[in-house]
Amino acid sequence: MKFSTMSDSEIIADLCCRIKDARIEQRLSQIDLAERAGLGIATIKRAEMGGSVTLSTLICILRGLNRLHQLEGVLFDAEVRSFNAQISGDRQNAPLRIRKKAVTAAADGMEKPLSEKSADSTAVDWYISAAENNVIW
């Protein structure tokens, strides 16, 4: 299934269906899953019907279904990058914090010299490139 082409509501509906299918496959009632997950029965019903649940609730449900390991697919890339950076001592792939600089000269009505303008455009290009290449889940 191609999640990138699905709307949010379609993804939620599919996730809810998968939770319900996993519960039924394991021959668990909603009450059994609620007990295993440490949640209330209403929360399980809401999750299976596509209602609003928190990430914490989703983790509890996955743990109750013994499917918590399926989150590794989501978290694996970040873990590998972090591990490789620790081994090589390379912090180049570490996520960068990007902040906008306050434009004080423009606010004061002063014109910047040409050398400062080119430096600013280079910095802006660097910020844009960093933002595009360091997307973190």
pLDDT class of 115 with cuts at 50, 70, 90: very low
- For residue 40, give every residue at least 6 positions away whose Cβ sits within 8 Å of its Cβ, in sequence order, or none: 34
* pLDDT top residue among 32 and 129: 32
pLDDT of 117 > 50? The answer is no
Of the candidate ranges 8-22, 50-64, 106-120, the one whose mean pLDDT is the lowest: 106-120
pLDDT class of 114 with cuts at 50, 70, 90: very low
Q: How many angstroms separate the Cα of 110 from the Cα of each of 12, 35, 106, 113, 122?
A: 52, 67, 6, 10, 20
pLDDT class of 137 with cuts at 50, 70, 90: very low
pLDDT class of 31 with cuts at 50, 70, 90: very high
Q: What is the DSSP string of 51-112?
A: ----HHHHHHHHHHTT-GGGGHHHHHHHHHHHHHHHHHT--TTS-----PPP-HHHHHTPPP
Tokens representing residue 46 in the block: 């809401």
User: What domains lie within the chain, and their CATH numbers?
Assistant: 3-70 (1.10.260.40), 98-137 (no CATH)
pLDDT class of 64 with cuts at 50, 70, 90: very high
